[in-house]
Homo-oligomer: A and B are copies of this chain.
């Protein structure tokens, strides 16, 4: 999750299930840590535990890549690092632009994990002329006017959108027109893109809401921490033209009998 895909249905690309692809980076991170500690081989059990999945899933995942393990022994760490990197396309250099250099954009630009694995921040772009030229994370911010030329000159195919929601679709359109075919969207909007363009979104608010849902369930069972104050924002609106209560099939306490204050 935080994750969620938008375009491109969960279909297999060359036989590797989407769910597996989404876990490969996790395995890669765990393997890289092992590699740094000079661990030569690892079993599916150990690696799975380091990646936070179960070992059957891991073995199944790896089986889509090929038979890269040794029965009775395990997997060669360095070898697997290379195979997964190659499969993910990380042996190539991916120039990336970040559009929208506010708090979040700046945080992303400064994020170290960017540079490490094949990704390179080619440019930071912002619409505010006051930002233009200001250095952020060692790069001068460039104005939106230059967006198209930056994309073309650097052969950028991945764009990161960290603008306010209102600007996101417009920025997206320009990125796509200029040749970007993969977009990572941090703005809380659904982006419309043509076929062949991938969008993934990262949305803080959605993640929190999902946590709140589960948190609410727990509150009923355990006598632990509840929410601090139950200050409902507004009472239930009366749906117009609705017949007598009882026709609604909601699983429990539909509309509170008394509006919360």
A158 vs B215: C-alpha distance when bound (angstroms): 8
Contacts A13-B217, A66-B250 given; indicate if A234 touches B200 (C-beta within 8 A): no
Residue numbers in B under 8 Å from A67 (CB-CB): 248-250
CA distance A85 to B105 in the complex (A): 30
Q: Which residue of B lies closest to A18 (CB)?
A: B210
Given contacts A107-B103, A215-B182, contact A239 B79 (CB under 8 A): yes
Please measure, in the bound complex, the distance between the C-alpha atom of A236 and the C-alpha atom of B218, giving whole angstroms. 48
* Chain B residues within 8 Å of A90, by CB: 209, 212, 233
What residues of chain B lie closer than 8 Å to A201, measured between beta carbons?
1-2
Q: Give the oligomeric copy count.
A: 2
A245 at the B interface (CB under 8 A)? no
Of chain B, the residue at the smallest CB distance from A189 is B29
For residue A89, which residues in chain B have a CB less than 8 angstroms away from its CB?
212-213, 215-216, 227
Interface residue from B26, B51, B232 paired with A91 (Cβ < 8 Å): B232
Q: Does A38 interact with chain B (Cβ within 8 Å)?
A: no
Q: List, in ascending order, chain B residues with CB within 8 A of A2's CB.
A: 1-4, 184, 200-203
Q: Which residue of B lies closest to A181 (CB)?
A: B218
Chain B residue with the shortest CB-CB distance to A241: B70
Contacts of A208 in B (CB 8 A): 94, 96, 114, 117, 119, 158, 184
Pair A251/B212 contact, Cβ less than 8 Å:
no
Q: A205 touches which one: B15, B68, B117 (CB < 8 A)?
A: B117
Interface residues of A in 210-234 (CB under 8 A from B): 210-218, 222, 224-234
Across the interface, name the chain B residue whose C-beta is closest to A151: B225
Main secondary structure on A side of the interface with B: mixed
Interface string of A130-171 (1 = CB under 8 A from B): 000000000000000000000000111110000000000000
Q: Which of B204, B236, B254 contacts A202 (CB 8 A)?
A: B204
- Docked Cα-Cα span, A23 to B68, in Å, equals 37
B residues less than 8 Å from A214 (CB atoms): 8, 13, 21, 182, 198
CB contacts (< 8 Å) of A222 on chain B: these are 196
Minimal Cβ-Cβ distance residue in B for A206 = B25
**Do B3 and A228 touch (CB < 8 A)?**
no
Q: In the bound complex, do residue B188 and residue A29 qualify as a contact, i.e. CB atoms below 8 Å apart?
A: yes
Q: Which residues of B contact A34 (CB under 8 A)?
A: none
> What's the minimum C-beta distance from A6 to chain B, rounded to whole angstroms?
6
Asked if A127 is an interface residue, CB under 8 A from chain B, the answer is no
Q: How far, in whole Å, are A214 and B104 apart by their CA atoms in the complex?
A: 25
